[in-house]
């Protein structure tokens, strides 16, 4: 990949937005709370002064659709119709992660229409102009900064801009438990709460909103655990049959990969599941070191070995092969990047 750094500023992106009348907002396939929160915040701030279309590649979890509320969202593998003035790509800059939007995005890039906001350390040359801030706990923090540059108020009411920003911030920090929850993160969260964001409502929507089938999947995943690397790594597997038996789709996966991290000896947790295409989707999570200098698994580096990526302690990849082959590949990737201090 090319050097993935900022090529513009918030002021520069703000000027592009001011000059546009029709904006399409895109993010990575299978969007999470930060991705959708970023898109929702942009839509809610810029409409009705501008036409803004949110276009997502699914699957999208039921809790995230409830978060969207009355904000219109298109979920499709087909590219947007019409010709926008501007495309905003948020929470990713990777060709692999935009999937079926790649061809359309290349056309938009050739026309100079793509701007990007991302807080991941690795990406591609998708956006003509981009701001990358790897120290930001969530992309919604960057969206907040951009909207403030544009002079927009961040209201904290129901279905407002602040609610969308808080949702991304909370989910990408594990509700402020992950190592990326720094002082800036808490300060912004405090400001949003003072603006009226209802964190209790959001927590219920995003974390206490599972279907019965998700508990079936959790049981199957836990029953499948294989302890690897002397117990430092837990690998879980879900087959197509597991999804059929649970009566639920692959959008019901949020949080399952984190469960083995409760075990004291486990430093990395992997969840692999069969996609309908036959490929294997891999989610990787790891714990921060107990203290500075202690060993830890950089799962972002492991994800990049397999063509994916993410953050140091949370990443993902897609493997063109079955679960057995994927397990061999992910173990080899982890062993190649382990930081033993």
* pLDDT tens for the chain, residues 1 to 341: 468 999 999 999 999 999 999 999 999 998 999 999 999 999 999 999 999 999 999 889 889 999 999 999 999 999 998 899 999 999 999 998 998 999 999 999 999 999 999 999 889 999 999 999 999 999 999 999 999 999 998 999 999 999 999 999 999 999 998 889 999 999 999 999 999 999 999 999 999 988 899 999 999 999 999 999 999 999 999 999 999 999 887 877 888 999 999 999 999 999 999 988 888 999 999 998 887 777 788 888 898 888 888 888 888 888 999 999 999 999 999 888 775 54
For 212-337, the fitting CATH number among 3.10.310.30, 3.10.20.740, 1.20.140.10, 3.40.50.410 is: 3.10.310.30
Domain 10-207 classification at class level: alpha beta
Rounded to 5°, angle at Cα 272 from 269 and 276? 160
**272 with 327: CB under 8 angstroms?**
yes
Domain-wise residue ranges, the chain: 10-207, 212-337
SS3 233: strand
Identify whether the C-beta of residue 337 lies closer than 8 Å to the C-beta of residue 297: yes
Determine contact, residues 127/2, Cβ cutoff 8 Å. no
Q: Taking the CA atoms of 289, 290, 291 and 293 in sequence, report the sign of the dihedral they define.
A: negative
Q: What is the DSSP letter of 290?
A: S
Round to whole Å and give the CA distance between 203 and 71.
19
Q: What is the pLDDT of residue 113?
A: 98
92 with 311: CB under 8 angstroms? Answer: no
């Amino acid at each position: 990949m090319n050097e993935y750094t900022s090529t513009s500023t918030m002021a520069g992106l703000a000027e592009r937005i001011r000059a546009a009348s029709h904006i399409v907002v895109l993010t990575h396939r299978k969007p999470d709370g930060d991705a959708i929160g970023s898109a929702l915040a942009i839509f809610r701030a810029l409409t009705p002064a501008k036409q803004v279309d949110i276009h997502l590649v699914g699957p999208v979890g039921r809790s995230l659709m409830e978060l969207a509320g009355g904000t219109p969202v298109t979920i499709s593998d087909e590219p947007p119709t019409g010709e926008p003035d501007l495309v905003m790509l948020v929470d990713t800059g990777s060709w692999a992660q935009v999937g079926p939007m790649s061809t359309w995005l290349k056309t938009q890039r050739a026309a100079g229409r793509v701007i990007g906001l991302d807080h991941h350390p690795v990406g591609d040359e998708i956006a003509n102009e981009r701001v990358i801030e790897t120290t930001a706990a969530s992309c919604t923090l960057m969206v907040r900064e951009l909207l403030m540059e544009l002079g927009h108020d961040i209201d904290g009411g129901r279905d407002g801009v602040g609610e969308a920003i808080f949702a991304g911030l909370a989910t990408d920090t594990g509700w402020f438990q992950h190592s990326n929850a720094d002082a800036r993160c808490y300060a912004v969260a405090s400001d949003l709460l003072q603006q009226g964001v209802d964190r209790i409502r959001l927590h219920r929507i995003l974390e206490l909103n599972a279907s019965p089938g998700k508990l079936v999947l959790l049981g199957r995943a836990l029953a499948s655990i294989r302890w690897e690397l002397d117990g430092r790594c837990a690998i879980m597997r879900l087959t197509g049959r597991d999804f059929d038996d649970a009566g639920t789709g692959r959008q019901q996966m949020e949080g399952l990969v984190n469960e083995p991290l409760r075990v004291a000896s486990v430093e990395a947790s992997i969840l692999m599941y069969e996609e309908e295409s036959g490929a294997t989707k891999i989610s990787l999570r790891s714990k921060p070191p107990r203290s500075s200098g202690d060993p830890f698994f950089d799962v972002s580096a492991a994800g990049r070995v397999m063509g994916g990526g993410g953050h140091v302690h949370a990443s993902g990849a897609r493997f063109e092969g079955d679960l057995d082959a994927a397990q061999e590949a992910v173990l080899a990737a982890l062993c190649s990047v382990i930081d033993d201090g």
